[in-house]
Chains A and B, each alone.
Chain A
Amino acid sequence: MSFLRTPPGTALVSLAFAAATVISVASYVPQRAPLAAPLVLVLLAGAFCAAAAWRGRSLVARNIAQPTLLSAAVAVAFLELVFAYDGTRGGPLALLSSALVLVALDLPLLISTYGATV
């Protein structure tokens, strides 16, 4: 449990909620997913991401965070591209996009603060 209280652990919890958001919306495609549960999940992901950023603000190793952010952004952009290209629109796309942005922020937070806490 102690790892989950560290900045990378908090970012990991956020990542788990963001992944659950993506799965809960994507599992309904091409039908429209009910949005209540994914909305709660993405809000939780956002809260944990903010907490991880606050807890890890002085621990972030910039030489690791910057390339990780870039590579995470590229990976997330591809997933966003296929969702949009395949016709996902409106609320589901907004939730997917929010969750993917959180994934792209969580990964550098997790990886760049890991060295200072482990």
Chain B
Amino acid sequence: MEAVAQPVPAARPAPLIPYALLAIPAAALSLLLAAIFSNALWLIDFLHIAGGGMWTGIDLFMGFVIGPVMRRLEPPVRAAVMRRLMPKMMVVMPTLAVTTMTAGWQLARKTGDLAATGQIHWLLVASFGIVAVLAMTAFAVLLPANVGVLSELRKEQPDGQRIQKLMARYTACTAVQGCMQIATLIVMTRIATL
């Protein structure tokens, strides 16, 4: 009897983000839910400060430390670093943003700052605007550039020019993010000391 060659099914492409990484947002958002429903002021404060501190710190570190270092690396080395870094950034940064914003809103509500008038009210409104600019630049440039670079790196023959173009946008945008993060620090520390 003659053996018949069976067609080999095409391998499913690996997901952009490894599923194991989803444990990070699952844990953080569960803690956030617990904080909201338990009305635990300390936990809400902790999540806002820890989340905001990490969000700001990572943004500034990526923009002013990792960014310049990456630009000096050889393209294959840079590609190898990005292939490992991007999936983690795509999970960690949105999680920190949601945790910080949600806990911050709850904190302002519980401490009475939302109902305040005068300078605190306008500082809070300014912080909403800053967060909007941060989110817009993140979602309009950083995240699409991340996804674009990652998709390109997964191809058999990545387009180096396209990756460079996307990374140039990414780097320019981190400057805006850095300025907004410094503005956030100024506004938040001012609110805390009024």
- Mutual binders A and B: yes
B144 pairs with A79, CB closer than 8 A: no
Q: How far is B29's CA from A7's CA once the two chains are assembled, in angstroms?
A: 31
A102 to chain B, nearest CB (A): 13
Contact with B along A64-106 (1 / 0, CB 8 A): 1001000100110011011001100000000000000000000
Contact with A along B24-59 (1 / 0, CB 8 A): 010001001000100000000000000000000000
B81 is an interface residue with CB less than 8 A from chain A: no
A15 pairs with B147, CB closer than 8 A: no
- Chain B residues with CB under 8 Å of A86's CB are 105-106, 109
- Chain B residues with CB under 8 Å of A23's CB are 125, 128-129, 132
A44 is an interface residue with CB less than 8 A from chain B: no
B101 pairs with A15, CB closer than 8 A: no
- Chain B residues with CB under 8 Å of A26's CB are 105, 128
A27 is an interface residue with CB less than 8 A from chain B: yes
Q: Is chain B's interface secondary structure helix, strand, loop, or mixed overall?
A: helix
- Chain A residues with CB under 8 Å of B109's CB are 29-30, 82, 86
B94 pairs with A115, CB closer than 8 A: no
- Chain A residues with CB under 8 Å of B17's CB are 67
B32 pairs with A15, CB closer than 8 A: no
- Chain A residues with CB under 8 Å of B160's CB are none
- Answer whether A67 and B16 are a contact pair too, CB < 8 Å, given A27-B128, A30-B114, A115-B151: yes
B136 pairs with A12, CB closer than 8 A: yes
Smallest CB gap from A112: residue in B: B147
B148 is an interface residue with CB less than 8 A from chain A: yes
A111 pairs with B102, CB closer than 8 A: no
- Chain B residues with CB under 8 Å of A74's CB are 25, 29, 98
| A 22-36 contacts with B by CB, 8 A | 22-23, 26-27, 29-31
Binding site for B on A (CB under 8 A): 8, 12, 15-16, 19-20, 22-23, 26-27, 29-31, 61, 63-64, 67, 71, 74-75, 78-79, 81-82, 85-86, 107, 110-111, 114-115, 118
Q: Supply 26 A–B pairs (Cβ within 8 Å), ascending by A.
A: A8-B140, A15-B136, A22-B132, A23-B129, A23-B132, A26-B105, A27-B121, A27-B124, A29-B114, A30-B109, A30-B114, A30-B115, A31-B115, A63-B13, A74-B29, A75-B94, A75-B98, A81-B36, A82-B36, A82-B106, A85-B36, A86-B105, A115-B147, A115-B148, A118-B144, A118-B166
Binding site for A on B (CB under 8 A): 13, 15-17, 25, 29, 32, 36, 94, 97-98, 101-102, 105-106, 109, 114-115, 121, 124-125, 128-129, 132, 135-136, 139-140, 143-144, 147-148, 151, 165-166
Add 6 more A-B contacts to A27-B128, A63-B13, A81-B36 (CB < 8 A): A74-B25, A74-B98, A75-B94, A85-B36, A110-B144, A111-B143
